[in-house]
Structure 1
Amino acid sequence: MCRHDPQCPPAEAPDREAARTLFEAPVQGWSLLCNGVISFEDTGEVLPSGEIIPPHRPSAHGARKAAAA
């Protein structure tokens, strides 16, 4: 799905939250990441495969990305 260089981590990777944001819906509390993951503000996620990842503590890289925003 990624069309830039360097490519974002794939949806199955542990650091998937580090992918670039393609679309944000802050009022609704979700974002679409470049790797196809839908990320919710409560840290839950839906992967492109349909797998649901329950809310969790974000990775250190994802936390730095959020702090920079």
Structure 2
Amino acid sequence: MCSHQPPCPSFEDTDREAARVVSSHPEQGWSLLCNGVVLFDDTGELLPDGAVVAPHRPRVPAA
């Protein structure tokens, strides 16, 4: 799917979020990455195989 050089990481790679954005919809809270991943603003993901990755924002320590 990716024509970039070097190619973007596959949706199966742990660094899949490093793929380039091909379509951005900030008003709706999501972006489509080159590897087919739909990345949501809350850091959740929808993978091309239909798998869902729950939001995984870093935990902020209590003050």
- Classify the secondary structure of the residue corresponding to 1:39: strand
**Shift of residue 39, structure 1, vs aligned partner:** 0.1
RMSD of aligned C-alpha atoms? 1.1
CA distance in 1, matches of 2:47, 2:19: 13
Alignment of 1:17-28 (within 5 A): 17-28=17-28
Gaps in structure 2 of 5+ consecutive residues: 59-63
TM-score (norm 1): 0.80
TM-score (norm 2): 0.88
Gaps in structure 1 of 5+ consecutive residues: 59-69
Give the paired residue count: 58
Kindly indicate whether structure 1 or structure 2 has the higher relative contact order, using CA contacts under 8 Å at least 6 residues apart: 1
- Classify the secondary structure of the residue corresponding to 1:24: strand
Structure with the higher helix share, 1 or 2: 1
- Classify the secondary structure of the residue corresponding to 1:11: coil
